[in-house]
Amino acid sequence: MCLPDPTKPPTPSEFTVIAVVVVISLIAFGVAAVVISFRAPPEKHEMAIALEHLGFWSLGLGVGVAGVFWFYRKIVD
């Protein structure tokens, strides 16, 4: 599927919306994964550890993307 060429370049506010949605999504998924992994039954310990690992990675990526975006905005503005 080919997307048509954009008629105008994206504005800085559109990039801000994309960055905020990505950061909120990553942090929300990370928090949900960590909470679910803590509430897992003892029979699923290996899966809970894997989910906790994934959740912490997601939290780290969310905070990292937020930090990079904040730093970029400080340099550009």
- Counted domains in the chain: 1
Judge whether 59 lies within some domain.
yes
d(CA 66, CA 50): 24
- Cβ atoms of 13 and 45 within 8 Å: the answer is no
Judge whether 8 lies within some domain.
no
Assign 1 a pLDDT band (cuts: 50, 70, 90). low
Judge whether 23 lies within some domain.
yes
- In the predicted model, is pLDDT for residue 9 greater than 70? yes
- In the predicted model, is pLDDT for residue 17 greater than 80? yes
pLDDT for the residue numbered 76: 86
Judge whether 72 lies within some domain.
yes
Judge whether 27 lies within some domain.
yes
Domain that holds residue 26: 13-76
pLDDT for the residue numbered 8: 81
Judge whether 70 lies within some domain.
yes
